[in-house]
Amino acid sequence: MDLIIVESPTKARTITKFLSGDVNVVATTGHLKDLPKSKLGVDIENNFKPDYVVVPGREKDIEEMVKSAKKAEKIYLATDPDREGEAIAYHAYEIFHENAKGKISEDKIKRIVFHEITKKAVNKAIESPRSIDKKLIDAQIARRVLDRLVGYELSPLLWKKVRRGLSAGRVQTITVRLIVEREREIKKFKPDEYWEIFCEVAQTKGKKIKLTVNLARIDDEKADITNKKDADEVVTGLNKAKYKVLAINKREVKKNPNAPFTTSTMTQAAANLFHWSAKKTMSVAQRLYEEGLITYHRTDSTNIAISAINKARGFIEKKYGENYLPEQPRLYKTKAKVAQEAHEAIRPTKMKEEVSVPGRYGNDAEKLYGLIWNRFIACQMKEAIYDETTIEVEGVDGKKYLLRTSGRMTKFDGWRKVIKKTGNNEEQELPALTVDEQLKLIKVIPNQKFTEPPARYNEASIIRTLEKLGIGRPSTYAPTISTIQVRNYVEKKERKFYSTPVGVAVNDFLLANFPDVFEYSFTAQMEADLDDVAEGKKEWEKLISGFWNPLGKKLKKVEKEAKRVKIETEKLGKKCTKCKKGELVIRIGRFGKFISCSRFPDCDFTDKYIEKVGMKCPDCGKGDVIIRQTKKKRRFFGCSQYPDCKWASWRKPTPEKPPTSS
């Protein structure tokens, strides 16, 4: 009997379903070996040799695996097709040799890789096994050692200089930096006044259809109106002006479909459409992958297998007709410098008319699968074609006023047949007008506006920014975003990230003392260097040495010379009820916000911090609606009278439409 080693029990069950009974599929249930948690686990003096040990609690599982391996005729290491999967395969390989006492020959163990869990893909992989990829192992070791050095050497420094219990990380620190800098941009921002002026005009003959046009130019200069006085003057002139159609410009616009999903674009789409966290999206995608429904979901590649393209084209022709099928298959160029995590984009593994998955997988799985299905089918369809019309209207009253409006009508929906439009203003039907046609003014509509600060990051935009900077990889986005919230460096309110005083203090300390290490370009270059290791272009030991030697010296200097950082606290404007001297302030601890005395540690007074939203509970009407947190730091709204009143909601209530209990 042959033995196949995979990571998860679900993956094992899926493979078992379509392989013959003479194959035993066993799951490692994650990593078998890792660096020890109790110490650094990296021998800096011995060329950064990592000290991998068996993960505590896995001894019995390993014993059972070794027993199965001794009985097997062939052993296939079928862990995931990325660096982590290669590392798990390698550690399984090591364990078999360490524990089997020579009873497992080396040529008996083979590595197989597949990017979808289907009978065809697994059998094809078994027919073409390979050896463990040493280059991928080196890249994984380099990343693990690098992150361990940063985390275990910088964290104690943060304990001494900022606060105990803090930690540092390469990618997480950069992510916090982005959020802190955006917060400062918002605070520094000063809004500028500007005015948008519209005119509602109508035909003087026929159906007299109305048309709203936007003021664009005044006497051949851009209409730049920045105060009410100038706006009133323009409004007066527009009210007196005579109007006519100056020009009608028509053109055909073609819009191509988007590329199939990568990890980044999938998590962004799920965040925008479903308001999901990256962690949730990856969890649902993991389930779909392990059940054999989609290809591997940790990928930065937009490549598609030709066989999958042909199946999609066949489905499109059958379902929608040959008018929706382009003459040639659509091929997409991967934007990532090195798409090392997988060789394909995320796509369904089977072509069926229904886009839903069986109900046993749950509603979330059905929603994400539908999103992946639609994106994949659309990417192989014809472009959408629109007729776009721009109408220019001239108003004359001493001055010449140029006003414009545009409308777009669908001529051929193409890939939009699958992915429907979002928003209400994409299409606007314009009346049939002729050049020089006279128009009648109905009213002038002046709108005072102010420039807005840059938007705070949300799950989608922070991932998009990290990817654009070349920082992080498909497997790191979700855990990074989760980690910075758990450690209270940032908090998420209404799906947007806000920096906390702790996050600001850590960010400022690290950037002040280690500016090179946490520079965007340096971190991105380090990711590129790790990719070079994976391609065999660089040696991981030299890479780590070049990074660590200057950092190690700097650590000692900073520990000796840097001053302790004071974390800013929000004052409540009340005296401490215990010592009567200090002020009550809001601090952030391991379990979130709490009230403390400003004289801490001289005064140890603490109390719960209750954040109210300014309205009564929509259920009992007695308690206040307050913001609470789950154990995983997710905010929700509840009643202050809990447990007497159990009302709770993920959505912020409003007096007009309070949400029901959820």
Confidence of residue 104 (pLDDT cuts 50, 70, 90): confident
Task: Tell me the one-letter amino acid at 337.
Answer: K
For the chain, which domains are there? Answer: 2-132 (3.40.50.140), 140-188+455-561 (1.10.460.10), 193-256+384-450 (2.70.20.10), 263-378 (1.10.290.10), 569-605 (no CATH), 610-662 (no CATH)
Across the range 442-469, mean pLDDT stands at: 95
Over the stretch 28-82, which tens digit does the pLDDT of each residue have?
Answer: 998 999 999 999 999 999 999 999 999 999 998 899 999 899 888 999 999 999 9
Six-digit token string for 555: 């650590």
Say which residues have a Cβ less than 8 Å from residue 576's Cβ, sequence separation at least 6: 582, 583, 584, 597, 598, 599, 603, 605
Across the range 309-333, mean pLDDT stands at: 94
Over the stretch 226-273, which tens digit does the pLDDT of each residue have?
Answer: 999 999 999 999 999 999 999 999 999 999 999 999 999 999 999 999
Can you list the alpha helix ranges (DSSP code H) found in 162-262?
A: 170-188, 228-240
pLDDT at 284 over 90: yes
Q: How many CB atoms lie within 10 A of CB 274?
A: 15
Spatial distance between the Cα atoms of 33 and 608, rounded to a whole number of angstroms:
41
pLDDT of residue 653: 77
**Following DSSP, what letter does each residue of 464-529 receive, concatenated?**
HHHHHHT-S-TTTHHHHHHHHHHTTSEEEETTEEEE-HHHHHHHHHHHHH-TTTT-HHHHHHHHHH
Q: How many residues does the chain have?
A: 662
pLDDT of residue 422: 59
> What are the C-alpha distances in Å from 521 to residues 466, 512, 540, 558?
11, 17, 20, 23
Choice between 558 and 566, residue whose per-residue pLDDT is larger: 558
pLDDT of residue 149: 94
pLDDT at 343 over 70: yes
- In DSSP terms, which residues pair with 583 in a beta bridge? 575
User: Per mean pLDDT, which range of 130-144, 169-183, 312-326, 328-342 is the poorest?
Assistant: 328-342
Confidence of residue 432 (pLDDT cuts 50, 70, 90): confident
Q: Strand order of the sheet with strand 648-649?
A: 611-616, 624-629, 635-639, 648-649
Give the angle subtended at the CA of 575 by the CAs of 572 and 576, to the nearest 5°: 100
Spatial distance between the Cα atoms of 363 and 371, rounded to a whole number of angstroms:
12
Confirm whether 489 is a catalytic residue. no
- Dihedral of the alpha carbons of 177, 178, 179, 180, in degrees to the nearest 10: 40
**Nearest alpha carbon to residue 177 among 166, 185, 189, 187:** 185
Q: How many CB atoms lie within 10 A of CB 549?
A: 11
- Specify whether the CB–CB gap between 462 and 178 falls below 8 A: yes
The DSSP output letter for 324 is: G
Say which residues have a Cβ less than 8 Å from residue 444's Cβ, sequence separation at least 6: 197, 198, 199, 200, 235, 238, 239
Q: Measure CA 418 to chain center.
A: 24
**Nearest alpha carbon to residue 431 among 217, 205, 239:** 205
Q: Is 352 exposed, middle or buried, given 0-12, 13-18 or 19+ CB atoms closer than 10 A?
A: exposed
Spatial distance between the Cα atoms of 662 and 593, rounded to a whole number of angstroms:
24
pLDDT of residue 253: 95
User: Per mean pLDDT, which range of 15-19, 282-286, 342-346, 385-389 is the poorest?
Assistant: 342-346
Spatial distance between the Cα atoms of 195 and 328, rounded to a whole number of angstroms:
48
- Specify whether the CB–CB gap between 195 and 226 falls below 8 A: yes
pLDDT of residue 341: 45
Spatial distance between the Cα atoms of 199 and 438, rounded to a whole number of angstroms:
14
- Dihedral of the alpha carbons of 565, 183, 151, 167, in degrees to the nearest 10: 60
- In DSSP terms, which residues pair with 283 in a beta bridge? none
Six-digit token string for 564: 């302790």
Task: Tell me the one-letter amino acid at 228.
Answer: K
Mean of the per-residue pLDDT values of the chain: 90
Across the range 332-359, mean pLDDT stands at: 72
Q: What percent of the chain has pLDDT over 70?
A: 94
Question: 């979700």: which residue's tokens?
Answer: 478
Spatial distance between the Cα atoms of 358 and 372, rounded to a whole number of angstroms:
15
The DSSP output letter for 121 is: H
Residue 618, preceding peptide bond in cis (omega within 30° of 0)? no
The SS3 assignment for 235 reads helix
Across the range 453-476, mean pLDDT stands at: 93
pLDDT of residue 227: 97
Six-digit token string for 448: 């005072």
Say which residues have a Cβ less than 8 Å from residue 81's Cβ, sequence separation at least 6: 113, 114, 115, 296, 341, 342, 343
Choice between 522 and 567, residue whose per-residue pLDDT is larger: 522
493 backbone dihedrals φ, ψ, rounded to 5°: -125, 130
- Specify whether the CB–CB gap between 369 and 295 falls below 8 A: no
Choice between 98 and 341, residue whose per-residue pLDDT is larger: 98
Q: Strand order of the sheet with strand 583-589?
A: 570-575, 583-589, 592-597, 606-608
Catalytic residue of the set 93, 296, 457, 477: 296
pLDDT of residue 662: 46
pLDDT of residue 587: 82
Run of H or E residues at 15: helix 9-18
pLDDT of residue 106: 74
Give the angle subtended at the CA of 456 by the CAs of 455 and 461, to the nearest 5°: 90
Q: How many CB atoms lie within 10 A of CB 593?
A: 19
Question: % helix / strand / coil in the chain, to the nearest 5?
Answer: 40, 25, 40
- In DSSP terms, which residues pair with 408 in a beta bridge? 388
Over the stretch 583-632, which tens digit does the pLDDT of each residue have?
Answer: 888 887 766 778 889 888 889 888 888 888 888 898 888 889 988 877 76
pLDDT of residue 627: 85
Across the range 489-501, mean pLDDT stands at: 91
Q: Helices (H), strands (E): how many in the chain?
A: 16, 25
